[in-house]
Amino acid sequence: MLDSMQNTPLMVAGVEQPALILADEVTLSPKAEVVGVVVEGEPRAYFLTKMSSMVKHVVNDRAMTSVGATFPFTVTYCDQTECIRVLVPAEKSYDETTGIGTLGMLDGGLALQWNNQHFKQMDPIPGFKDYPHERTTWGEWLIKHPDSKAYVGDNNSDDPMHASRSGKP
């Protein structure tokens, strides 16, 4: 019998075109954890509590390039293993999305799906490379990147780390 936490097959497309809000609009606590990334000069923060649901473990986003095209990237987060990964195409790409999704849990970690192939979250994925990111708090990220945009899920006030005041430190 398989341990239900070790293997839970469930094919879910990644979040596509995530709604991003300006830092001034965020009402979540400065203590809330985020994964921060700067892509094409654009700072972004992804609230980990908003990526904790199985259907939100993968966020496929894109940033505007200096030539006016979009550059796709993916942020992944497994709340069971606390593993974070940010992926970009290995070769410069102006596709609308990376198209990465999740397959649930495999051998105790997040399973990713791309191009009809399955991968453990930290496995090499053909055509992609890892991109620098930082796990920090919203308050710390905001000090370094006050012009950041943020992914706060579908509603930035439905989080247990919700603050009654602005999310600024």
Q: Which residues contact 118 (CB under 8 A, 6 or more apart)?
A: 103, 106, 111, 112
The pLDDT tens digits along the chain (169 residues) read: 334 445 455 678 889 989 999 999 999 999 999 999 999 899 999 999 999 987 899 999 999 887 787 889 999 999 999 999 999 999 877 777 888 999 888 888 899 999 888 899 999 999 999 999 999 999 999 999 999 999 998 754 444 333 333 344 4
13: exposed, middle or buried (Cβ count in 10 Å: 0-12, 13-18, 19+): middle
Closest CA to 83 of 114, 115, 58: 58
What pLDDT shows up at residue 5?
A: 47
Q: What is the pTM of this model?
A: 0.84
